[in-house]
């Protein structure tokens, strides 16, 4: 066959080319790497982070500003050192250790994002909304507004609204990126997703009756799923019942979606959603009641 006849000729050409290429002047490679990272010195907080995040979970907790980690579409500023310490404690106590308790440390080590990056203020968009945080590629959680933490620390509702729910919300995205949720979820309120109009009327104030747990849920099915899970676990059962009552006709859709969330967590990750809620609620109370010293960076 024709093709077969050509093959040896090709091999010869390649061999000759190879021999010619080798016959060039010898060049020594520079043994030093061209990649340099900023030289910073470790302080007490860095050492605490090593012991509490880096070594046990392989999580990098970046509290010092790096332009390349930030979103260049927004005007961001660095997080404050003391506020970052508080935030590290909150992430550890309310998220990392919650999943250790409910799903085991192997789950946390496997799925929990490997990097946190903090900035000081919210990301302000020019349409009047703000961005509290984002998750990227199953690996990184970005948390904004850390410098405002002292204003919200004594109130569970505020703490959740601005930070903790955000972490659970972003972590849900990461779980979804690992294992997709059933398509039936989207079908329940399929025509209700309105993208950027979620913060306009009537969507902003009528989301419950439309079958969405928050106004932002109406952005897309991915956001809806993350909102469902994070709202459910960060609130008390009483709050949930009250909200369902307020939802009226919308409650059926929300409950149907909750069932999918519940079975997804059980089937894919062997996590009991209600146990997760109990644990989150108990730990939130501990924070508000001051049982955890959020400023302590002594290494135990």
Partner 1 sequence: MKKLTFFLMSAVVVLASSCLKDQKDYFDKSSAERLQEVQENLRALLADNQYGWRIEYFIGNTEQDRGGKNLTLKFGKDLDTVCVRSEEFVDSSFTSHFKLTGDDGPVLSFDTYNGILHKYAVPSSSYYEARGGDFEFLIIDYSPEKIVLKGKRSGKTSVLYPLAEDAKTFTERLHQSDKAFYVSSFEGTLGSTAVKGEIDVRNRQFTITEKLDDEYADAETTTLPYILTEKGLQFYEPEEFLGTTLESLTYSAADTTFSAAGVSLKGFIPKDWRPYEFFEGSYMFLHNDGMFQIELVPTEDQESYRANGFGTNFDIFMFYDIKTGRLNIEAQFVTAKGSDEVLQEGENYVIMAPLGESGFFGLDGEGYSSAWNMREDRPVYVWENNGRNARFMSSELMLRLYNLTDGFVRDSQGYSMGPSVAKFNGNKASLTPKSMQKR
Chain residues binding partner 1 by CB under 8 A are 6, 9, 13, 16-17, 20-21, 23-25, 27, 30, 32-41, 43, 63-68, 74-81, 83-84, 120-126, 128, 130, 147, 150-155, 158
Nearer to partner 1, 82 or 97 (CB): 82
Q: Tell me whether residue 20 or residue 183 sits nearer to partner 1 (CB atom).
A: 20
Shortest Å, Cβ 126 to partner 1: 6
Q: Least distance in Å: CB of 205 to partner 1?
A: 16
Could you tell me the smallest distance in angstroms from the CB atom of residue 42 to partner 1?
A: 9
- How far is it, in rounded angstroms, from Cα 121 to Cα 78? 8
Tell me how many degrees the CA angle 246-247-253 measures, rounded to the nearest 5. 155
Question: Closest separation between CB of residue 143 and partner 1, Å?
Answer: 14
Residue 134 Cβ, how far from partner 1 at the closest point, in Å? Answer: 16
Q: Which is nearer to partner 1, 17 or 266 (CB)?
A: 17
Nearest approach in angstroms of CB 41 to partner 1 is 5
Residue 218 near residue 194 (C-beta atoms within 8 A): yes
Question: In degrees rounded to 5, what are phi and psi of residue 118?
Answer: -110, 145
**Which residues fall within 8 angstroms of residue 13, CB to CB, at 6 or more apart?**
none
CB nearer partner 1, residue 91 or residue 213: 91
**Nearest to partner 1 of 191, 293 (CB atom):** 293
Distance from CA of residue 206 to its chain's centroid? 27
Q: What is the DSSP string of 241-259?
A: HHHHHHHGGGHHHHHHHHH
Closer residue to partner 1, CB minimum distance, 80 or 170: 80
For residues 261 and 182, what is the distance between their CA atoms, to the nearest angstrom? 9
In the chain, beta strands by DSSP E: 60-62, 115-118, 123-124, 130-131, 133-136, 140-143
Quick one: which of 168, 100, 109 has its CA closest to 133?
168
Minimum distance, C-beta of residue 156 to partner 1, in the bound complex (Å): 12
Q: Which of residues 31 and 190 has its CB atom nearest to partner 1 in the complex?
A: 31
List the structure tokens of 220: 């897309």
Looking only at the bridges linking them, the beta strands covering 115-118 and 140-143 are parallel
DSSP reduced 3-state for 43: coil
């Amino acid at each position: 066959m024709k093709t077969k006849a050509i093959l040896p000729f090709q091999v010869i050409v390649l061999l000759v080319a190879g021999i010619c290429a080798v016959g060039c002047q010898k060049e020594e490679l520079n043994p030093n790497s061209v990649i340099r990272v900023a030289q910073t010195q470790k302080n007490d907080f860095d050492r605490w982070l090593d012991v509490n995040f880096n070594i046990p979970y392989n999580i990098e907790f970046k509290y010092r500003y790096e332009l390349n980690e930030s979103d260049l579409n927004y005007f961001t500023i660095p997080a404050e050192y003391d506020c970052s310490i508080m935030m590290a404690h909150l992430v550890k106590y309310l998220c990392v250790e919650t999943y250790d308790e409910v799903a085991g440390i192997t789950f946390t080590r496997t799925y929990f994002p490997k990097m946190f990056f903090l900035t000081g203020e919210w990301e302000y968009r020019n349409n009047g909304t703000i961005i509290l945080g984002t998750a990227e590629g199953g690996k990184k959680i970005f948390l904004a507004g850390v410098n405002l933490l002292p204003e919200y620390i004594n109130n569970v509702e505020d703490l959740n609204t601005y930070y903790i729910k955000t972490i659970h919300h972003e972590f849900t995205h990461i779980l979804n990126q690992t294992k997709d949720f059933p398509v039936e979820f989207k079908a329940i309120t399929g025509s209700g997703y309105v993208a950027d109009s979620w913060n306009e009327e009537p969507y902003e104030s009528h989301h419950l009756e439309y079958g969405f747990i928050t106004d932002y849920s109406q952005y897309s099915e991915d956001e809806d799923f993350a909102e469902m899970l994070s709202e459910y676990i960060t609130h008390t059962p009483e709050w949930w019942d009250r909200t369902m009552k307020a939802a009226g006709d919308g409650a059926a859709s929300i409950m149907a979606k909750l069932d999918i969330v519940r079975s997804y967590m059980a089937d894919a990750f062997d996590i009991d959603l209600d146990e997760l809620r109990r644990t989150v609620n108990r730990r939130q109370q501990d924070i508000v009641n001051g049982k955890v010293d959020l400023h302590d960076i002594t290494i135990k």
